[in-house]
Amino acid sequence: MSESLMYRREFHIGGRWFEPSGSEVLTVISPSSEEPVGEVPLATTQDIDAAVAAARTAFDEGPWPRLSPQERAEVLVRAAELLKARTPEIVQVLIEEMGVASNQAPLQVGTVAPVFEYYADLIRTFAFDRVVRKGDLTGLVVSEPVGVVGAIVPWNAPVTLSAWKVAPALAAGCTVVLKPPPDAPLSTYLLAEALQEAGLPAGVFNLVPGDRDAGEHLVTHLGVDKIAFTGSTAAGRRIMSLCGEQIKRVSLELGGKSAALVLDDADLETTVANLVRGSMHNSGQVCAAITRILVPRASYTQALEIAADQARSIPVGDPHDPATVVGPLVAERQRTRVESYINLAKTEGFRVVAGGGRPSHLPKGWYVEPTILGDVENHMRVAQEEIFGPVVSLIPHDGDDDAVRIANDSLYGLSGSVWSGDDARGLRAARRLRTGGTVVNGGIPPQPLVPFGGFKESGLGRELGVEGLHQYLEPHTIGVPAALVPEGSDS
């Protein structure tokens, strides 16, 4: 691994590499070796101020918001091409900084360039101006960029989730200050380099790694018009409160406690085994992961056996090994959090049916075995709170209505799935779920063309799709004389 990829000494501010104002650094620790593998400067409030000032100047005075959508699209396409070319480097950095398994990292990074391509295509035909007429009255509705965007992303998919914010923001004509996560900031530097090389004007994109204090300063900065955040519900609640004080625009993609409804006509063995394996992606550190599997009560014992056998068969190990499915958790504190939930078995009354410990063959690294919890009731903390690790609870249900009730009995509403031998029956159940996204019998919607986000405490607003572009636009209604509007331009 090149040292230049892992040890960064500057921020990206105002179209150039920018010396930090302070001397503190963020040391990146490998989750698998527990050894330092990289370093970035730690942003001070002065650095955040410089980044916001650059973005503010670029928005208020620079060319980017004033370019035609076609001209912005050309830059986004060039950025996509550069990101594709640098995919192997981004993959290697991700494996080192966050411990994602090497056979999963390319899938994660492979979704980045298509987001830029999608928004480039979308804005070429998007109606930024819309004419509305009634009688002799004419209104021009102009979709204008919201302004300077502060984007804050988590460590579990830093480049992917950055792209989900940066691509539509840039497509809309906004400028951006991105604060990557302290645990995994290095891969976002490759995004910054690609955007610079693609010809983005100075100040349109700025990168400032920082801690929670830096993030809060960005959120409350008067020069920032909108915050786009992905992370925990607790942090999202705080950010929403701070934005509320300034009536600042905010979109939030937060936690989840997603349920899979296995109906009584589903193939139990195949479905449960696939759900368990899928829930272990990125070591369970995925907000949309299925962490509650609801199975018919009559088949509950059999489902537990299937789930336990599957969990025990999943390879756990070094993320560099292509055979590994479950790598380490991102940090020691995260392993401690996951283990604290597993240890609730004695007080809550559920059983640890498989896993629950640290792999004996891995003395180094922050690993937790793929874990199956049985005898779980939906009111228990392990069924209500986001664990964010390789832990799945099995909960019995007494029919379709009961399964829907249990699934909806949650503060969260991010994703879910329904499994049935009858597609129409599965769809009927899916329509009743209070979630932002639901899969029926493995039918995967075409991202990035469709929106992603959640109901309830899973967030506010949507990313991806045309809805994702709307998050970065403000409608401006202008009453105009009808003579100003050419014929044929009516909405």
CA quadruple 226, 232, 235, 237: dihedral positive or negative? positive
CA–CA separation, 160 and 281 (whole Å): 15
Nearest-angstrom CA–CA distance, 111 and 118 = 11
What is the DSSP track for 126-159? --SEEEEEETTEEEEEEEEE--EEEEE--SSSHH
End-to-end CA separation in angstroms for the chain: 54
Catalytic residue among 96, 117, 253, 457: 253
Token digits of residue 412 = 């969260």
Q: Does residue 287 carry a catalytic annotation? A: yes
Number of Cβ atoms within 10 Å of the Cβ of 118: 24
Peptide bond into 36 cis (omega under 30): no
**Residue 174 designated active-site:** no
340: left (phi over 0), alpha (psi -120 to 50) or beta: alpha
Structure tokens at 221: 């900065």
Q: Which of 117, 174, 287, 369 is catalytic?
A: 287
Tokens matching residue 131: 């004419």
Distance CA 315, CA 146 (A): 46
Q: Catalytic residue numbers?
A: 253, 287
